[in-house]
Homo-oligomer: A and B are copies of this chain.
């Protein structure tokens, strides 16, 4: 089954202590869509400017991502620039040029409106609402977010959370949202806001799912070298939703393995700048690392 993914489509200029790359394909929807594409069909919703490089449209194309919902507006594509510290755990934003993204209103082509799986990747909660308003009874809706929306659009975000099956956020965001240091208490508090499934991402420490079958402790794939972690969280939710949409059976039967698949795609993402490593990945390589993680967690 197909996944609808809405989020940002951007050009990222990324500096690490070892290298610098400018105007890479980035944005939450780009990372999530490529990640999901390894598992099945993806419908993308986003906006780019008329400066958007043709090679990036071709890249989406090679991943068979449906671009009917990608708006191409006159003006500049959203451009973000950031710099990582040596340990890659801290980054600072050097530049944010919203361009055509500033006035983005996601409009769904009618063929998208019946997609059973919907991923509201990181984007303003008002836009995430707007996408849901256009959908016809999706089977499973997940959303990701970022600290920015907790700071500037909390009311919208809280209303959105009520409409979700799954809410995904990272540990510091969970702490900010619940005023709770303890991740397991935070999970309970977030359930009370609505979602049946709550997933807290912990970077290289993996992630935790709380759902109807209890807790799942999802491992991160061990990496000896992290080149650029930009987009890892988006790759995680994208890979997870792609697997879920492709799998037979119930959400409860599949969500754990879906998270592990997302975790693995995120590991490939970290091994190159932007989408450079992810796009060279194969489904067989993903399945190989999933099997390795199965072996590394068995006791």
Contacts and interface: CB of A to CB of B under 8 A. Distances in A.
A239 to B, nearest CB: 14
Contacts of A219: 217, 297
Interface in A257-299: 257, 259-260, 293-299
A296 B223 contact: no
Nearest to A87: B181
Nearest to A223: B184
Contacts of A296: 214-217
A226 to B, nearest CB: 7
B222 A184 contact: yes
A294 B216 CA distance: 10
A163 interface: no
Contact of A202 (B205, B216, B294, B299): B205
Interface residues of A, number: 35
Q: Which of A182, A216, A217, A295 has the most CB of B within 10 A?
A: A217
Nearest to A203: B205
Nearest to A293: B217
A236 to B, nearest CB: 15
Contacts of A224: 182, 184-185, 188
Interface in A29-61: none
B87 A299 contact: no
Nearest to A299: B256
A185 B294 CA distance: 21
Contact of A298 (B188, B225, B256): B256
Interface in A218-256: 218-219, 222-226, 256
Contact of A294 (B188, B256, B295, B299): B299
A217 to B, nearest CB: 5
Nearest to A258: B299
A297 B206 CA distance: 12
A299 B181 contact: no
Interface string A174-196: 00000001111100100000000
A258 to B, nearest CB: 9
